Amino acid sequence: MKIGFIGLGKMGKAIAGRLVGAGHQVRVWNRSPKPVQELVAKGAEAAAQPADAARADFLVTMLANDDAVRAVVINQGVLDAATPGLIHLNLATVSVALAEEFAELHRKRNLGYVAAPVFGRPEAAAEGKLNIVVAGDSATIERAQPVLSIIGQKTWPVGDRAERANAVKIAGNFMIASAIETMGEAVALTRAHGIDASEFLNILTSTLFAAPIYKLYGAMIASEKYQPAGFAAALGLKDIRLAMAAADAHSVPMPFASTLRDSFMELVATGGAENDWAALAQLAARRAGLDRRG
């Protein structure tokens, strides 16, 4: 199959690599040239313009945020250049509002649109172990399944309205941030009582909280290493803003999300924008003066 691919950040590069590896004809575009060259070395073709990626059976996009999606896909005529019958899989974490708008733009052009945000970090992407939440027309999703199966270990359909997949993704990211903050506060409390973070977290993440997210971020918090960032605090702030915008649209009070927003802003305002978002735990320790207590 012919697949166009736009957006070769850490996640995008890993995913596009899998599609190439599976033997598909993949045409890639990225703002900066380096990852394009890497993919071409593996057998992909370089697209001169974003619109060139849309001359395909499938278009897969993995862009950083709403602004990037607007700048590349909408403003550079990608949809207008699309091969009739194209199915667009949008893997990015974008706003609920943009998902609605996007679905409509495809509908008008008779193109397929599947909102397909993913859970998982780059290592999982490289192994095809992502979890993909999908929403859109069910026949379209069925046709896209062969592509989705290369990308993820499982596809989770949540209905035909595209924005629902984004709402699930946004709510899921809120849950991750919330788990980090929770561990951060719990560790600050127990450290103040003389208990090592690793000792405390080992107990909880081996028992009640034996879940991938708690193990992953628990280890990061115990080691107090927030560089290099797997997912930066600035992106955490972006995602909490998405949650709050989605909540705003339906007047859903979310006090934990509000607290997370303030804490991410504090991280960003005090020089920590590029630390991993797990640095919420560092902030919790700093507020308790634990860095001063030796």
> Hey, which residues between 197 and 256 contact its own copies (CB under 8 A)?
199-200, 203-204, 207-214, 241, 243, 246-256
Looking at beta carbons only, is 112 or 172 nearer to its own copies?
A: 172
Total number of residues shown for the chain:
294
DSSP state letter for 211 = S
Q: Tokens standing for 144?
A: 């896209």
By beta-carbon proximity to its own copies, the closer residue of 1 and 203 is: 203
The one-letter amino acid at 227: Q
294 binds its own copies (CB under 8 A): no
d(CA 14, CA 131): 14
Binding pattern for the stretch 178-197 against its own copies, x by CB under 8 A and - elsewhere: xx-xxx-xxxxxx-xxxx--
25 or 178: whose CB is closer to its own copies?
178
CA 193 centroid distance within chain: 36
Comparing CA positions, the residue from 162, 122, 109 lying closest to residue 138 is 162
DSSP state of 71: I
**Which one of 176, 278, 279, 281 is in contact with its own copies (CB under 8 A)?**
176
CB of 72 to its own copies, least distance (A): 23
Residue type, 41: A
| Beta carbon of residue 114, minimum distance to its own copies (angstroms, whole number) | 16
Residue nearer to its own copies on the CB measure, 26 or 92: 92
For residue 175, give every residue at least 6 positions away whose Cβ sits within 8 Å of its Cβ, in sequence order, or none: none
* Residue 45 or 185 with smaller CB distance to its own copies: 185
50, 136, 172, 236: which one contacts its own copies (CB under 8 A)? 172
10 near its own copies, judged by CB under 8 A: no
Helix, coil or strand: residue 90: strand
Of 4-12, 48-56, 65-73, 260-268, the segment contacting its own copies by CB under 8 A is 260-268
Question: Which residues inside 17-56 make contact with its own copies, applying CB under 8 A?
Answer: none
Where in 87-126 is the site for its own copies (CB under 8 A)?
96, 119
Q: Is 34 a catalytic residue?
A: no
- Please report which helix (H) or strand (E) contains residue 235, including its range: helix 233-249
Residue 261 found at the interface with its own copies (CB under 8 A): yes
Active-site residue identified among 2, 13, 42, 169? 169
Which residue, 108, 178, 120, 116, is CA-closest to 145? 116
Choice between 85 and 289, CB closer to its own copies: 289
DSSP letter at 73 equals I
Number of residues that bind its own copies (CB under 8 A): 77
* Cβ-based neighbours of 212, under 8 Å, separated by 6 or more: none
Closest CA to 144 of 82, 101, 91, 185: 91
Indicate which residues carry an active-site annotation.
169
